[in-house]
Chains A and B, each alone.
Chain A
Amino acid sequence: MSKFSLANLDRRIIYLLVVLALAWPLLNKFTIRPARMKSAEALYKMVEETKPEPGKAAFFAFDFGPNTKAENASQAEVVFEHLMRKRIPVILFAQYVLADPFLKSIPEKIKAQLETENPGEVWQYGKDWVNLGFRPGASLIIQSIPKSPNLAETFSIDAFSTPLVDLPIFKTPIKLKDISLLLQMTGLVGTFDSYVQFFQTQDYRPNFGHGCTSITIPEAYIYLDSGQLQGLLEGIAGAAWYSKLLTDQFPNRAPDNALLINTGLGIAHLLLIALIIFGNLTALFSKKEAKRAR
């Protein structure tokens, strides 16, 4: 059988088709309205209904690295932007060492974006957000948070070695009950479970929003269904819908990558479905021909 037989297409042709499917919308800046994601809407509503209060903050974990940057960084950017717009103070944190650069770059990027859009308004490090940096220990660190009477004492310094007590966010002691929102964006498997298990006390659990890669969506749905998660960003599709909701509320905001990447992904999905149907049809015809030949 020829290498280029239709029933067994050379994988190099398939790879080429994938490249074209993904590259075309990126190169042409072609975007299309994303699919509606109810779980992303729930997360949006949760953040929207949270009011900035003195002495309270959101705890945001960036547990992703460069590998899942396309999905998780897009998710982190849109949610962080929403928190910044609402002036909810954010405590940034990571359990994964490769997330450290994102803890620095994403807030700076969003700050620059917002200050360009809103001349005269300023977002300040220490007042609007704090970067605790990467902390080793995985679930052991998460377990220590509910027991801490003051997070400034537990973590003591930020990612720049500034004592936390010197930062405006930590002017009053912050403990778990002062965390109004818990958010985690991750492509890792296993880190999310430790937040579900341990980031709570006997009588308080903050609202939990999670952003995951597409592979772990079915697992995240278990927790969304049971009420342990109140909002979920399902891969880049969730980030794209969240971005669309932000644009509806703030029409002057700068466009982000989420919509672009999501459109490319949509075309790749269609390609996969077409290839599967094509493969099944050609296999069916080949079988019929072989039967006829016999």
Chain B
Amino acid sequence: MNFRQRLIAIATFLGGIYFFLEFVLPEKLPEVLGGFEFGKYHNEVSNGFIAVGAVAFALGLINLLYVHGSKIVFGRKGALNSAALLLSLFAMMYLTLNEWITSEKFNAAAGELRDLAAFSRQIKTDAESKRLLEIPTADRIKILITSLDSKITEVQVTLDNAPKDTPAIVSDEATAALAATNIEVANIKSALENDTTFADLPVLEKLAASLITLASGRQKIDALNYKVSLGKAAYDFVYEGLFIPLGSAMFALLGFYIISAGYRAFRVKSAESALMMIAAVIVMLGQIPFYSYISEDLPEMRLWLLQVPSAAAFRAIKFGAAVAGLYMAIRMWFSIESVSFGNDSAGKTGGSE
């Protein structure tokens, strides 16, 4: 085993031993053994693996660019098809990225309003706790109001530019929330002029509530605005107009193939095949609406076939495959699998006939 193989084997073992121990040990060891929680950071470790796995998407992209790019560059057979594939790939990437960036923008805009609502609540909580603050409550409220002024103007512009077919419930809710926010802001401003210590804390809670409703309303109107844009239309055309029907069509092919394969291959040539045929016909007839024209007992017979012989056979196959999978997993874990990552001993052991 060279250095690289040894490193891979160690990394594999350590990764496996963590998950093995996390499963095998109880959630918390008894106090007499230290009370250690082995799986305390399991969520973080799992998220790490998810992140690593996500990077693998680039591998597929690189392969596509290599295989189809070289066809285009060297003018090989199928170059036009490859060009169409790469063009579609980049077009779809652009449209999906645009969709994602736009929805994140809307979420961020609404998020800013929610952050201001949370800030408002925090000011109230800190003031009620009467603890000593670096920045006095009144100054914090002034910062809040200054931030709010620009946001309110933005929201007003969004509401004014809402599409004509915005449902009344959405626009009314947003308009009411904006009005309530403006009232609370005006109340706060006048309270600040009269009382620099600012004693009217409940108004901050009202402001927070109206800001949360405003955030939700703004998000909905932004989404409605985006819906009528060119980017969204293009995305909908490609995704809902092409991708979804194409996927459904491919799945629908199965129906045709099952029937043509059934007609071609289901021949009764022996007692076992006759038995299989009878069972198949009973199961099919037992689940269609027309069973009552043949026999009322068909659903029960179907149920018995599925619950008894079929379940038994499935269980047996699953047990066998599970045990085989378990052994393969142990071999992978201890790196005693011969076909792995440049193992020089692979293929030296006699080979096949």
Contacts and interface: CB of A to CB of B under 8 A. Distances in A.
Contact of A137 (B50, B240, B318): B50
A34 B286 CA distance: 10
Given A144-B43, A218-B306, A35 B49 contact: no
A230 interface: no
B111 interface: yes
Interface size class of B (residues with CB under 8 A): 35 or more
A136 B48 CA distance: 12
A79 B87 CA distance: 41
Interface string A140-167: 1001100100000000000011110010
Contact of A266 (B258, B262, B289, B307): B289
Contacts of A166: 114, 212
Chain A interface extent, by class = 35 or more
Interface in A167-206: none
B267 A280 contact: yes
A219 interface: yes
Interface string A1-20: 00000000101001100100
Given A34-B289, A222-B314, A67 B50 contact: no
Interface in B139-161: none
Please classify the interface of chain A as helix (H, G, I), strand (E, B), loop, or mixed, using the class held by over half of its residues. helix
Interface in A106-145: 136-137, 140, 143-144
B263 A218 contact: no
A33 B296 CA distance: 13
B260 interface: yes
Contacts of B216: 162
Contact of A270 (B49, B107, B110, B288): B288
B166 interface: no
Contacts of B333: none
Contacts of B259: 14, 18, 268, 271-272, 275
Query: For the complex, would chain B's binding face be called helix, strand, loop or mixed by DSSP majority?
Result: helix
Nearest to A166: B212
Nearest to B219: A160
B303 interface: yes
A265 B288 CA distance: 8
B244 interface: yes
B266 A33 contact: no
Contacts of A217: 306
A69 B248 CA distance: 8
Contacts of A243: none
Contacts of A32: 289-290
Nearest to A140: B46
A201 B267 CA distance: 50
Contacts of A35: 286-289, 291, 298-299
Interface in B30-85: 42-43, 46-47, 49-50, 54
B288 A269 contact: yes
Contacts of A225: 307, 311
A270 B287 CA distance: 11
Contacts of A147: 42-43
B235 to A, nearest CB: 11
A146 to B, nearest CB: 10
Contacts of B351: none
B1 interface: no
Contact of B289 (A33, A219, A224): A33
A67 B299 contact: no
Interface in A30-83: 32-38, 65-70
Interface in B287-309: 287-292, 298-299, 303, 306-307
A67 B267 contact: no
B323 interface: no
B290 A270 contact: yes
A271 B262 CA distance: 11
A143 B288 contact: no
B189 interface: no
Q: Which of A9, A162, A276 has the most CB of B within 10 A?
A: A276
B347 interface: no
Contacts of B251: 67-68
5 contacts: A22-B255, A36-B299, A162-B110, A217-B306, A268-B259
